[in-house]
Amino acid sequence: MPARSSRLFGATLFSRAVPVPVGASPRREPRIPCYGLARITFGGQSHFGVLTDVSPSGVYLWTDVRPAVGSVVELALLQPGAEVALAIEATVIRRDEGALALRLSHRAAELPALVKRVASA
């Protein structure tokens, strides 16, 4: 499948379908597509990425940083002007090319609505 591209915050972003492994468990909660700027902090350093889908229990983040699977990170959803709208602890559960799947340390029922509101601001 060819890669798709889009523009966000002045950067060109690419997306590509990632095959789901045979026997992979189904999602516990539906994912909601979105685009939102986020900061990920681990090892005393902060990096930036773009949320591409969210659920109350996890997120998918496009980013070039590569923390190990199992690493605990701080994820901050940023509003325009780099103001933090929500900060939550998360665990890296999968690393894909240019992206991370993160499981939130506690369920954040407000996250999907918050991401949509911030992204449309």
Closest C-alpha among 118, 95, 96, 92 to residue 105? 92
Q: For 32, phi and psi rounded to 5 degrees?
A: -115, 120
Chain segment 23-45, per-residue pLDDT in tens: 445 556 777 888 888 999 999 99
Distance CA(110)–CA(1), nearest Å, equals 33
Residue 84 placed within a domain: yes
Residue 86 has pLDDT above 50, yes or no: yes
Residue 114 placed within a domain: yes
Q: pTM of the full predicted structure?
A: 0.70
Chain segment 45-78, per-residue pLDDT in tens: 999 999 998 888 889 999 999 999 999 999 998 8
Q: 49 forms bridges with which residues in the sheet?
A: 38
> Domain tally for the chain?
1
Residue 21 placed within a domain: no
Residue 7 placed within a domain: no
Residue 44 placed within a domain: yes
Its domain, for residue 47, covers 32-119
CATH number at residue 63: 2.40.10.220
Mean model confidence pLDDT for the chain: 76
Residue 116 has pLDDT above 90, yes or no: no
Residue 10 placed within a domain: no
